[in-house]
Amino acid sequence: MANVTVIGAQWGDEGKGKIVDWLASRADAVVRFQGGHNAGHTLVVGENVYKLSLLPSGIVTGTLSIIGNGVVLDPWHLKDEIARLEGQGVIITPDNFAIADNCPLILPLHRDLDGLRETAAGAGKIGTTGRGIGPAYEDKVGRRAIRVCDLAHLDHLEPQLDRLCAHHDALRAGFGQPPVDREALLATLREIAPFVLQYAQPVWKRLKKVRKAGARVLFEGAQGVLLDVDHGTYPFVTSSNTVSGTAASGSGLGPSATGFVLGIVKAYTTRVGSGPFPTELDDDTGQRLGERGHEFGTVTGRKRRCGWFDAVLVRQSCAISGVTGIALTKLDVLDGFETVKICTGYRLKGRIMDYFPSHAADQAAVEPIYEELPGWSETTAGARSWADLPANAIKYISRVQELIETPVALVSTSPEREDTILVRDPFED
């Protein structure tokens, strides 16, 4: 039986939460391997709605849930999120939840810097969530991060604080801000340390033991491939690698452990924040997609931009991330459209292109080439088998998988866990 790695194959917000929750009920461990609390999942289980942004989705089902070393961790947000879920009856203990002890921390100074930069950037802003994710990753790469394991050695933190504050004090001065209050920072770390350390451990050892026992591991990605810092729409990207290969480096297991790569793909396209979006619709159709799809960010609440399905982008994402099969979500949002469109290529300065270019100017200039398909008036909401789907909906799915050169493994037809058509079981592949 295979392990499964779940990633978003668009710009995030593809409905990963429902799919990961559905898979987590059949997994023995769920691992977050990159990103931070800028990534949101909404899980609908019966009458209960759970909103997660840092905790792995498996925590709701009681599955062993792990935050890997590739994540940047805001310990204060973690404490609040755990308290909120416990208030909903979710049990979270060191038996079912663990944090990599080499995981970097997001500090108040990271949030400060994030906000200062975005404000100063004006029209050139990236559109970050302002939660300190990018600055925390910068400090990790700059070898000045404070990590979870440092919370157990706060009396020996001075050399690391010297490096950290030398960097941030210079940046803060450039924005007209006072230096970092080192004593206040240390005081907040001392206060939060016992809470975080109860969950801290070398998770690579725990995962090695889980895997040796033949258990099934689900690797849970955040954001989407088009936000990858290398392969996304740079500079309008996140600060980590969101592709499937990061599951290995961000968890402490080798690449052979990642197994079946399931790319989550919305039946249309959405994006939050700034950046190019070839199929964006600034008309009644775009408004209709947004309203029917309830397109607001789980974390930020920001309205998502909406457009037709872009097969060029998804085909590129699947190739870059080695996607084995896709889970197509929110098919029901397309119910009732007389016709639906799929982007099959681009025009750029009179040239036809079958891929998305790397340069921001070219990305902003491409014009989508559309293929139009007949829509369907019947509902797909709640369908659990191919027999429940209208013929034109099946034709649409078939055309999507043909254009992206990747088979459909699952189709999601509502936020409910059981409203899922299983074509190919990732865990049994």
For 144, the 3-state DSSP assignment is: coil
- DSSP string across 229-263: TTTSSTTSS-SS--STTHHHHTTTS-GGG--EEEE
Q: Which of 262, 204, 201, 200 is nearest to 3 (CA)?
A: 262
Burial tier of 222 (Cβ tally within 10 Å: 0-12, 13-18, 19+): buried
Q: Could you tell me the end-to-end alpha-carbon distance of the chain, in angstroms, rounded to an integer?
A: 7
The token pair that represents 309 in the structure block: 């399905």
Measured in degrees and rounded to the nearest 5, phi and psi for residue 302 equal: -70, 145
How far, in Å, CA of 256 to CA of 275, rounded?
Answer: 34
Catalytic residue flag (residue 13): yes
For 339, the 3-state DSSP assignment is: strand
> What residue type is assigned to position 353 of the chain?
M
Pick the catalytic residue: 37, 41, 110, 231? 41
Q: State which H helix or E strand residue 4 sits in.
A: strand 4-8
How far, in Å, CA of 357 to CA of 47, rounded?
Answer: 44
How far, in Å, CA of 395 to CA of 10, rounded?
Answer: 22
In this structure, are residues 237 and 228 in contact, taking their beta carbons and an 8 Å threshold?
yes
Q: Number of C-alpha atoms within 13 angstroms, CB side, residue 261?
A: 25
> What residue type is assigned to position 273 of the chain?
G
How far, in Å, CA of 299 to CA of 129, rounded?
Answer: 8
Catalytic residue flag (residue 41): yes
Q: State which H helix or E strand residue 119 sits in.
A: helix 108-121
How far, in Å, CA of 417 to CA of 25, rounded?
Answer: 10
> What residue type is assigned to position 101 of the chain?
D
For 68, the 3-state DSSP assignment is: coil
- Residue in the structure block whose two tokens are 């059949």: 26
For the chain, the residue count is 429
Instruction: Give residue 28's Cα distance to chain centre.
Output: 21
Would you please indicate which residues are annotated as catalytic (active-site) residues?
Answer: 13, 41
